[in-house]
A and B are shown apart, each in its own frame.
Chain A
Amino acid sequence: MNNDKLILGGHEFNSRFILGSGKYSLNLIEAAIKDAGAEIITLAVRRANTKDGENILDFIPKNVTLLPNTSGARNAKEAVRIAKLARELGCGNFVKVEIMRDSKYLLPDNQETIIATETLANDGFVVLPYMYPDLNVARDLVSAGAAAVMPLASPIGSNKGLATKDFIQILIDEIDLPIIVDAGIGKPSQACEAMEMGAAAVMANTALATAGDLPLMAAAFRQAIEAGRKAYLSGLGRVLTRGASASDPLTGFLHD
């Protein structure tokens, strides 16, 4: 377990919890770092530059890796511009590509995401694209130079959990990059389930932001993710999904 690191773009991380950026609160950032053990925190560039007062950048310790996202981008061109702006602001080389052409469900635009990923990877960014779980798209993202693939579990903010479970499993089985489950994770048990499936990490925000006791929920996520990871590494035992197995083997008639 001690050598079980999450590796993204050549950087090693001990924590497999990533804090998303949707709901902005400084208490949330503190709880995510202290209680959930987050080493990566997403930052919406469009909120980064608040002058005077509470600049979100001031609240993030130096040992935490910033993951600026391109939220607000409606196409690849805008995403690339926002990513470059983030680098100029001193947010480092990591970028989470988020491209939405839909203000209602905030679903990602896979086609534009591939284009932006390629452009940014060629420009030296460590690119983590947020996507709708589609195997063909995931393969294109690998070719485009992504450092990980971030499929959504269910619509952002919905807290509905692994609605796309079967398709995420396909990505985990077929893609050699880390699969980070993003969006829709509503409770620790869902995060645990994603980790048991073999996800490399889980990103959450709303589930923590809207919890009654932030630090307690942050700690619960940490434990759930660690438990899920251990279960995955240990190899899940025999799980009967439907009824009992036949006591007489169906192949009992074979004698040779």
Chain B
Amino acid sequence: MENRFLVDSDSLSEEALKRKHRLETDPSSRTDHMAYMEGMEIIESDVCENVISQMKSYDYTKYTAKDVKAALEHETCTIEDFKALLSPAAEPFLEQMAQRARLETGKHFGNTVYMFTPLYIANYCENYCVYCGFNCYNKISRMKLSMEQIEHEMQVIAQSGMEEILLLTGESRGQSNVEYIGEACKLARKYFRMVGLEIYPVNTDEYRYLHECGADYVTVFQETYDADKYETLHLFGHKRVWPYRFDAQERALRGGMRGVAFSALLGLSDFRKDALASALHVYYLQRKYPYAEMSLSCPRLRPIINNDKISPLDVHETQLCQILCAYRIFLPYVGITVSSRESAEFRNGIVKIAATKVSAGVSTGIGDHESKYSGTEADGQQGDEQFEISDSRSLSAMYSDITGEGLQPVLNDYLYV
């Protein structure tokens, strides 16, 4: 079964609809997704080749229970062990994997769980990615916050006690240019101890500029590491360029960022191969940049405005849990973030096993923190959400739930130096 992503908005002109349909049905109308566009920096790196050759040769059907047991017995988890742990043969060993994962998490992170919240400052987007609520053909309320509005949102969030913020935009250089994001970072430094970014990929010098503005962590989701599949989902815009996206974390580190985060969007393609590639992307970059901090996320597809049928297909909670346990065993030193796309029950369980960071007080809309935090009617314009969240707990609710699980919530573990 496949997701049915394609939805036509009644507000599109006939010409726009025609263009949209052509992009959807005629591959020759699309640009070459492996060719860099003008202005995109090309770096020399062997990381991509290492990751993709492993992913392509990964045949997860060949692993057996024996391989999984051996993997669980090894003190150091090799790439081959990791492949076994991600395979269907490992599913019956989920409880043993969870036990081992918890041990590794405890060794490296103790009982701590870090908390953060995302702040979307604009939802304009120049790309047509068929599964995303922000895509340029989706009819949603668009908005870009002014600096005054951003500061107000930050004040509301900071008052809740949050100390780490992740700034997000839709992927539009035109509407949300690097300077605009840089100014938002400078404001964020006033209210938060840690500022992360999840924006369109940029060049090394732009990452350096954003770092100087106060950002220190860059998250870029590759969505899927299968470039051929990627091509069929990202039909238009700069985001279509797969290799430029792949190298984003490496450019961010070269630009001076302290840490980088990775993920595939599970449900878009073969999730076992995507999980393997995500972890190997971390593994090979860590060998090249050993001082960098790295983390993995594990988002699954969610419904969006105008398409409530989108689902993560065969990636059920069991498979997600298997992936997270395998990540932890293979990369015990890496942070693992579980977002509000997942239910409160799942998040309460997974922080005891493998996750080290959770979001709280989340809105994926634009300019609506005050109304959401205070439970009042919004009095100004608001921008629509990127996707529907599942866990809407506030910071204080999340804090007390984590404490109730016998864990220690941590709001900050970071210094900008």
Contacts and interface: CB of A to CB of B under 8 A. Distances in A.
A103 B112 contact: no
Given A46-B412, A46-B414, A23 B111 contact: yes
A102 B290 contact: yes
Counting chain B CB atoms within 10 Å of each CB, which of A22, A100, A101, A103 scores highest?
A103
A53 interface: yes
Interface in A121-171: 157-159
B290 A210 contact: no
B342 interface: no
A49 B193 contact: yes
Interface in A18-62: 22-26, 44-47, 49-53
B286 A50 contact: no
A25 B406 CA distance: 10
Interface stretch (A74-82, A226-234, A244-252): A74-82
B229 interface: no
B173 to A, nearest CB: 31
Given A51-B163, A72-B415, A25 B111 contact: yes
A51 B164 CA distance: 12
Contacts of B193: 49
Given A102-B291, A103-B292, A157-B107, A24 B408 contact: yes
B293 interface: yes
B50 to A, nearest CB: 17
A47 B410 contact: yes
Interface string B97-112: 0000000001111111
A85 B294 CA distance: 25
* A-B interface, 10 closest residue pairs, ranked by CB to CB distance from nearest: A23-B110, A46-B415, A78-B417, A101-B291, A102-B290, A157-B107, A209-B110, A104-B333, A210-B106, A25-B408
A131 B108 CA distance: 19
16 contacts: A24-B413, A25-B111, A47-B413, A49-B412, A50-B411, A53-B411, A72-B417, A73-B417, A101-B291, A102-B291, A103-B333, A104-B290, A104-B333, A206-B107, A210-B106, A210-B107
Contacts of A73: 417
A49 B414 CA distance: 10
Contacts of B161: 51-53
Contacts of A47: 410, 412-413
Interface string B204-215: 000000000000
B413 A46 contact: yes
Given A102-B290, A103-B294, A103-B333, A25 B411 contact: no
Interface string B379-417: 000000000000000000000000000001011111101
Contacts of A53: 161, 411
Interface string B273-288: 0000000000000100
B297 to A, nearest CB: 17
Given A49-B193, A102-B291, A85 B110 contact: no
Interface residues on A, range: 20 to 34
A103 B417 contact: no
A72 B112 contact: no
Contacts of B291: 74, 100-103
Contacts of A45: 415
A209 B413 contact: no
Interface string B359-391: 000000000000000000000000000000000
Nearest to B291: A101
Nearest to B103: A210
Contact of A85 (B107, B163, B292, B415): B415
Contacts of A51: 161, 163
Contacts of A100: 291
Contact of B110 (A46, A102, A206): A206
A101 B293 CA distance: 10
Nearest to A155: B107
Given A24-B410, A72-B414, A78-B417, A103 B293 contact: yes
Contacts of A44: 413
Contacts of B290: 101-104
B417 A81 contact: yes
B401 to A, nearest CB: 15
B255 to A, nearest CB: 15
A26 B415 CA distance: 21
B410 to A, nearest CB: 6
Given A49-B193, A106-B333, 19 more contacts: A23-B109, A23-B112, A24-B413, A25-B111, A25-B112, A26-B408, A46-B413, A49-B412, A50-B411, A52-B161, A53-B411, A81-B417, A82-B417, A101-B290, A102-B291, A103-B294, A104-B286, A104-B333, A210-B110
Contact of B163 (A50, A82, A104, A158): A50
A126 to B, nearest CB: 21
Counting chain B CB atoms within 10 Å of each CB, which of A104, A105, A159 scores highest?
A104
A229 to B, nearest CB: 28
Contacts of A206: 106-107, 110
A209 B111 contact: yes
A22 B286 contact: no
Contact of A24 (B108, B110, B286, B333): B110
Counting chain A CB atoms within 10 Å of each CB, which of B291, B408, B415 scores highest?
B415
Nearest to A101: B291
Contacts of B107: 157-159, 206, 210
A217 to B, nearest CB: 14
A248 B417 CA distance: 67
B353 to A, nearest CB: 15
Contacts of B417: 72-73, 78, 81-82
Contacts of A78: 417
A77 B79 CA distance: 36
Interface in B273-327: 286, 290-294
A16 to B, nearest CB: 23
